[in-house]
Amino acid sequence: MRYTLGVLGLLALMTVSWSQTLHTTPHGEGMRGLSPATRPATPNIRWQKQLPLGIAHGSITFSNNGQFLYFKTFGAGQGQVFKVNAADGSTVWATNPATLGFGNFSYAGVTVDEAAGRVYTSARGSAQPTGQSFIAALDITTGAPIWIKTANDLGLAGADFGRGNVLLSPDRARLYVRDNADPSRIVALSAANGNLLWVYTSPFGGPPPFQTLGPVWRDPVSGRTRIAFSNNAVNGSVVVIEDAGTTANLVWSANVALGLNYRWWGNLVASLDFSTLYANSFSDAGNPVMTALRASDGQILWQIFSDIFNGMNQYQNPVVGGDGTIYSGGRVTIPPPIMNGPAATGQAGDFWNSLAASDAVQRPWTLQNLRAHDDSATTIDIENIDFAESSTYPATDGDDLMRDYHYIGALGYNGPATIRLSEVPAGTYDLYLYSFTPIANDQNAVFTVNGVTKTVTPDPPGPFTRYLENVNYVVYRDISPLDGEINITVEIDLFNLYAVVNGLQLVGKTGALTGKRVNVDFNQLGQIGGGITAIRPDGTIRWQFKPPGSGEFSGWPVVTCGRVIYACDQVTFAETYLYAVRDNGNDATFLWRFQLPYSYFGNNSPSVGPDGTVYIAASRDNADPQILYAFAPAPAGDINADGCIDDADLLAVLFNFGATGCLPEDVNGDSVVDDADLLEVLFNFGTGC
């Protein structure tokens, strides 16, 4: 499925958000982690640079359209701020830790104000030689201090500002920080000179040590700056305050958490238009793993809770893509595999609903509000009644649809079984029913619909090679629902022990769903492991990605306009991987992974330059040197990120010709798909093939 922005005014909004992502810290400031890059990166190292320490999840930010990188080192030694040339990794300047150390284990990144010629960051209480926490403005050209304000200077002795980033107000006149020694305390400073403007003490707080702040935005009604933050607390789990000039006022608070271990690391993330705030969480004590709140008043719009089907347990920040999709790393459950694309009928990009089930799942196995092939919502519900179990064949037997199935003929469920589609809009439909097995006595499913019986008869049984009517599927043509229902009876053939059903397609011929395909893949319930969940703006899950052997996607991810997500999977301290995953709309494709050195859990967060280069360094809980890696982008024109510029890439540009916004088909990144992008593909045609 391809995305367009749909609202004309959103193009201008996206231009602003890209600029903010480039010129301020993309993670800690509560921005969406959205990079304007349209090109994917490759696993090929462009350059690598040894650093005195690693880089924590404060991550890397940019200036001069990606020409320079800024970051602060993290570990048991004194942190340093670096400015690095993106072309070759050479150091432009670095602060001297002997004269201006930023403390150890300082998570805060670097906030860049290119127009003012400054970068801002904060230091922990362990900073030397100050012997206390401070906030600093550094000259963007030389790294020399413009001003430094210690905790004592601000009248806040004992404060610790170095675990959460420094936020810059939308008009770039004010800075906001949170005191991790007293997380209820929010501090505002003048960006010009660092003078204290106000201290706000929140009535809400939480015990964990990793409190962060953000996002910050301008409220369209009051015209004032608003700042959001979250707490590991049942009361005041999410809070928004407003900068009133000489003080700050509470706008709203929301009680989201049901118990502790809620939001103890990370800030909130805003939608593209700042109308919605998103917070993910551990599932401990029944906490919601994802919550969307209206930014204006804190009303909860939707929530996702962990269950046996999604397996979600979300560790750190989500990110928001150019089409509004929310990507969240953590732990997931997916039934292996999930179907995507055509079967006997359909197109390569078709969405398939996944009806996962097992004997451990309450019967009947159901799925509500099935989505059509184009990802649009329908009213249709499905129930699989009196099926024995679900299972799967080895990967060599069948495609994604045919490999897994629900069946009768075991556990006392010998049939007949029923598949019931309800809330089906009036009209006529073609109904495709799939039944395949490479095992002789496992098939010959007998279907009955509206009194008409059809049998799937493999001849002979064996590996799946192609879709053949009456061999591995049957079709009921031009049927109509009765009182909104279509009932399918499944029985075992007289000479067999089992009957399997792999899935179905309901194809609209007339009525409200004309031209729509409602596809359902019958899956086996999968195992929990590390993964990424893609969530629609309405709070429903589009897909989940879980690579084999994964642990937990625990760092803060980033997504590009080319719909490539970069995130880190932490299996153990010694086994951490950077993943590149492409969002195809209705599923995700693994592109590549790279094993990082020994890493401190949860701190590895990639950043992406506007040309598609990916930057990441490991982080350690000691003072050992670490390596900053820069992964080279793919050649211009590799739209689908498959390593080969071919007809598929050319067709992708032609299909989206004239579209505007954040799109992978925009090869040159000028926000419009036009002749220039087509020429780029043609010029590089055949590269990598």
Over residues 234-280, the pLDDT tens digits come to 999 999 999 999 999 999 999 999 998 888 777 889 998 999 999 99
CATH class of the 353-524 domain in this structure: mainly beta
What pLDDT sits at residue 210? Answer: 67
Burial string for 420-456 (b: 16+ CB within 10 Å, else e) reads bbbebbeebbbbbbbbbbbeeebbbbbbbbeeeebbb
* E strand map for 463-526: 473-479, 486-492, 499-501, 503-508, 517-524
What pLDDT sits at residue 462? Answer: 76
What pLDDT sits at residue 240? Answer: 97
Give the count of beta carbons closer than 10 Å to the beta carbon of residue 46. Answer: 18
What pLDDT sits at residue 464? Answer: 87
Per-residue tokens: 348: 């390569």
> What order of strands is seen across the sheet that includes strand 238-243?
213-218, 225-230, 238-243, 248-254
Specify the DSSP element, H or E, that contains 367. Answer: strand 365-367
User: Span 10-334+527-633: which CATH code?
Assistant: 2.130.10.10
What pLDDT sits at residue 29? Answer: 41
Q: Where are the domains of the chain?
A: 10-334+527-633, 353-524
* E strand map for 493-635: 499-501, 503-508, 517-524, 528-535, 541-545, 558-560, 564-572, 575-583, 588-596, 607-608, 614-617, 626-633
What pLDDT sits at residue 185? Answer: 93
Specify the DSSP element, H or E, that contains 328. Answer: strand 326-333
What pLDDT sits at residue 12? Answer: 33
Q: What is the pTM of this model?
A: 0.91
Which portions of the chain are predicted below pLDDT 50? Answer: 1-30
Q: Which long-range contacts (CB under 8 A, 24 or more apart) does 62-65 make?
A: 62/22, 62/23, 62/86, 62/112, 62/607, 62/609, 62/610, 63/22, 63/23, 63/112, 63/114, 63/140, 64/114, 65/22, 65/610
What pLDDT sits at residue 4? Answer: 27
37 in Cβ contact with 560 (< 8 Å) = yes
| Beta bridge partner(s), residue 34 | 559
Per-residue tokens: 234: 């049942």
Rg (CA), the chain: 27
pLDDT tens by residue, 641-671:
788 899 989 988 998 899 888 888 888 888 8
First to last CA, the chain: 24
| Beta bridge partner(s), residue 69 | 62, 84
Cα-Cα-Cα-Cα dihedral of 155, 157, 162, 165, to 10°?
A: -30
558 in Cβ contact with 364 (< 8 Å) = no
Annotate 220-281 with DSSP letters as a single string: TTT-SEEEEEE-SSSTTSEEEEEE-SSSEEEEEEE---SSSSSS-B---EE-TTSSEEEEE-
What pLDDT sits at residue 122? Answer: 95
User: What are residue 569's phi and psi, to 5 degrees?
Assistant: -105, 120
User: What are residue 440's phi and psi, to 5 degrees?
Assistant: -60, -40
Contacts of 423 (CB under 8 A, 6+ apart): 379, 380, 381, 484
Alpha-carbon gap, residue 460 to 497, rounded angstroms: 17
Contacts of 184 (CB under 8 A, 6+ apart): 201, 202, 203, 204, 205
Residue among 104, 229, 120 at smallest CA distance from 165: 120
Alpha-carbon gap, residue 371 to 147, rounded angstroms: 56
